[in-house]
Every structure is written in C-alpha cells, then in structure tokens.
Amino acid sequence: MKSITKSIYTLLLAAWVLSIGHSTSFAQEQYKENKKVTAVEEYKGNGNFYPVAQYDQVKPGKKPKNVILFIGDGMGLAHIYASMTANGGSLFLQNFTHVGFSKTYSASDYVTDSGAGGTALACGVKTYNGAIGVDANKQPVPSIRELAEKKGLKTGLVSTSAINHATPASFLSHQASRSNYDEIAADFLNTQIDVFIGGGVRFFEKRKDGRNLSKELRDKGYQVLYKMDDISKVTSGKLAGLTADEHNPPMPERGEMLVPATQTAINLLSQSKKGFFLMVEGSEIDFLAHNNHAPGLIRETLDMDRAIGAALAFAAKNKETLIVVTADHETGGLTLVEGNNKAGDVTGKFSSPEHTGICVPVFAFGPGAEQFGGFMENTEVANKMMKLLGVK
C-alpha cells in the first residue's frame, strides 16, 4: 500500500514538472509566433525625405491661449532619432528648442501602461496601471480637457487608434479599467467635446447595450463622418470622425489620416474666442514597437512628426499656442546600432517586446515652453499645461 501511494506521488510530481516544462516552452513559442520578435531590423530610407520647415521661436514669458499636446505612444528618444535619420537627418521636432525629461513610472509600477501614463499626462496624478482618469483610490480626477471645457474653451482629441483606447480615453473618461471600452465610448456623450477623430466605430454602433452612440451624437448636433475626405471638408460645428472599425491600419496602409485630422481639428478649435485644448496621439508607434518592428515604428513616428509640422505652421502664425510633444512611456527598449543620414537607413535593436521604464523626452514650442526643461514627473507636464492655460 505504502509503495503504491509513493508511486502515485512520484507520478503526480513527474506530471507537475512536465506541465511546468511544457507551459514554459508553449509560452515561449507563442511569444515568438505572435510578437514576431526580430532583435535587429533595418529601415531603408531610399532617399524619400519630406522637407522640414524652420519656424521662428515665439518669445517666452507670455501665457498661451491654446495648448496642443502630442503624445507619441511608446515613443522614446531612439524612436525619434531613428526617424530623424530615416528622414535624412531632420524632423519638424527640431523646431522645439525647450527639451526636458519625463519620469513615467506609475503609482503601481516602475514600468507604466498607457492608462496610468495617459492619466498622468491628462489629469496630473500618478495612478495604477490600467486606470483611466481615476487616482490610485479609483476616485475620478478631472483632465485638462475637462477643465478647459468647463472654462468655455473648445476641446478636441485625435488618435490613430480607436478613440476610446487608453490614451485618448484618459482625457475624457473615468474608469477603473481601460478595458471598459463600451463605457468609455458612452462617456463621449457626457461631454461637450467639440471634435474627436480616430477609430472605434464598433464601440459606438455595435454595442452590448444596443445603444447607437453615433445616432445619439447626431441627435446632439454632431456631424458623424467615417471617411477622411469628408472629415477634412468640415469647417464648422461639432465633429465626430470615426475612420475605422477599431484601430486604423498602420502606415502606409492608413494613408493620410493623422495630418488632415490634426489640421481639421485645429481649424475647428481655433474658431474659439476663449482658446482651445487639443490632444493628438500617434498611437501606433507603440503597437509596432511591441512587435519590435523598426520600419513600422519609424513610419508611425514620421507620420506624427508631419502632424506636428501642421501644428507648428499654425502656432508660428498664431503666436498664442503652446505645443508640447512627449510620450507616455518607451516601448521596445530600442537602440540604434547603425545608420546613414544621407541614405536614410537606420538599424534598430530591441531589448524588449514590452514597455520600458526609461524616462521620455518632453519638447515644447511657444509661450510657456521655457517651463518644460530638466527632469519632471509625467504629472508635472499636465499640471504645467493646466496652469499655463489658466484652467486650474
């Protein structure tokens, strides 16, 4: 009897060891198949560079009437410099002479996610990973967009991902979890937001609760449009642009979306007498960086840089607009091991398929830009913008 019990234990132990061994190798296989990790990857520029205009700096010391915040999701310094090399050595970002560093850790983790990262940049509080517009105790905290809306400024959100994804959601919604996608989409109806353009049709029209948010938005006076050509033609009124069922495809399949969306939003918002707040997200830099896809993340970063160029063209003329460009965190642990500015070739090497904890750059242009130098908490980026805009 004793020996039978002993052999059953031995069998169980062997099965347990085998199952661990099996699950580990299975996880690694999955990771290789799904993430398509290639440690080293080259981008070929082929000399296809876009021209980069130089703008006069706006004199410091004045307060901005408008704030435009660009968030490159997952965009670290290597992503920026790889893209600069890919564009023959220059970017619109070079117009930004005030530069600092943002510490991206969250209340729960050294390495943040886009929920906590977006909430820090939107609401000025550190929170737990996965949170949207709530603090570490799950209490709602107003975002700069909501504070601006309350003060009578016009507000807008633009993203290449679904518009209810973590980053834009942080500027509009208050949810314990970033995956409450239907609830976040419904929150668009609870605001007076003037313009939003991004993906996510299915969260507005194919919902568990049967509501058709697009119809509700139309009843509220919004123009709800699905094609960039139609969206670009809007010159007045409230606008909801939903350009994809979920996320827009990455570049180059996406085509011209982020640049005309940014221009359209600025055209509409700048009609405000009291000023405006606009957040524009290059969402998919992060997606491609998770896949360790160097050419993909470079194309995404270049797309956002051209959108920054469109904002600069407005701000340089307007002279009352502060532009801040930063990231919620770095993705991929990217470094650059080879490059050629003349050809636009660059080779990236990744150390992770996930987000990393390294600080990210903050760039500022326009009145108040001088306040964004040195090391700062990611929450300070939001708090500085709120103070400068006079909404807090």
The answer to whether residues 364 and 323 touch, using CB atoms and an 8 Å cutoff, is yes
Q: Which does 283 bind (CB under 5 to 8 A by kind): Zn ion, Mg ion, none?
A: Mg ion
Residue number with CB closer to Mg ion (114 or 243) = 114
Span 63-92, contacts to Zn ion by CB under 5 A = none
Specify whether the backbone of 11 is left (phi greater than 0), alpha (psi in -120 to 50) or beta. alpha
d(CA 276, CA 262): 13
Q: How far is the CB of 284 from Zn ion (least distance, A)?
A: 10
- According to CB under 5 A, which one of 112, 155, 283, 356 is a site residue for Mg ion? 283
- Whether 114 is a known active-site residue: answer yes
Residue number with CB closer to Mg ion (121 or 346) = 121
Residue number with CB closer to Zn ion (149 or 286) = 286
Residue number with CB closer to Mg ion (246 or 345) = 246
| Token reading at 203 | 């969260």
Other CB atoms within a 10 A radius of the CB of residue 315 amount to 24
Q: How far is the CB of 221 from Zn ion (least distance, A)?
A: 35
The answer to whether residues 102 and 63 touch, using CB atoms and an 8 Å cutoff, is no
Q: How far is the CB of 36 from Zn ion (least distance, A)?
A: 15
Residue number with CB closer to Mg ion (41 or 328) = 328
Q: In angstroms, what CA-CA distances link 172 with 75, 294, 359?
A: 22, 31, 25
Residue number with CB closer to Mg ion (95 or 106) = 106
Q: How far is the CB of 107 from Mg ion (least distance, A)?
A: 19
- Please provide the DSSP assignment of 329-379 as one string: -EES--EEEEEETTTTEEEEE-S-SSEE---EEEEEESTTGGGG-EEEEHH
d(CA 238, CA 219): 12
Listed ranges 10-18, 71-79, 104-112, 130-138: which one lies at the site for Mg ion (CB under 5 A): 71-79
- Residue 276 DSSP code: E
| Token reading at 148 | 């601006």
Q: Which does 321 bind (CB under 5 to 8 A by kind): Mg ion, Zn ion, none?
A: none
Closest CB to Zn ion: residue number = 286
Closest CB to Mg ion: residue number = 167
d(CA 67, CA 70): 10
Span 109-138, contacts to Mg ion by CB under 5 A = 114
Listed ranges 42-50, 163-171, 240-248, 312-320: which one lies at the site for Mg ion (CB under 5 A): 163-171
Q: Which of 102, 106, 114, 283 is catalytic?
A: 114
* CA nearest to 261, candidates 279, 288, 237, 286: 279
Residue number with CB closer to Mg ion (162 or 310) = 162
Listed ranges 106-114, 190-198, 256-264, 381-389: which one lies at the site for Mg ion (CB under 5 A): 106-114
- According to CB under 5 A, which one of 73, 113, 182, 183 is a site residue for Mg ion? 73
| Token reading at 335 | 């470094």
If binding is defined by CB under 5 A, does position 326 make contact with Mg ion? no
Q: What is the C-alpha radius of gyration for the chain, rounded to an integer number of angstroms?
A: 22
Size of site (CB under 5 A) for Mg ion: 4
Q: How far is the CB of 354 from Zn ion (least distance, A)?
A: 8
Q: How far is the CB of 62 from Mg ion (least distance, A)?
A: 31
d(CA 335, CA 209): 45
The answer to whether residues 239 and 197 touch, using CB atoms and an 8 Å cutoff, is yes
Q: Which does 167 bind (CB under 5 to 8 A by kind): Mg ion, Zn ion, none?
A: Mg ion
Q: Which does 106 bind (CB under 5 to 8 A by kind): Zn ion, Mg ion, none?
A: none
Half-sphere exposure of 387 (CA within 13 A, CB side): 12
- According to CB under 5 A, which one of 104, 167, 326, 371 is a site residue for Mg ion? 167
- Please provide the DSSP assignment of 50-105 as one string: ------PPPPTTSPPSEEEEEEETT--HHHHHHHHHHTTT--GGGG--EEEEEE--
Span 272-301, contacts to Zn ion by CB under 5 A = 286
> Contact residues for Mg ion (CB under 5 A)?
73, 114, 167, 283
* Residues catalogued as catalytic: 114
> Contact residues for Zn ion (CB under 5 A)?
286
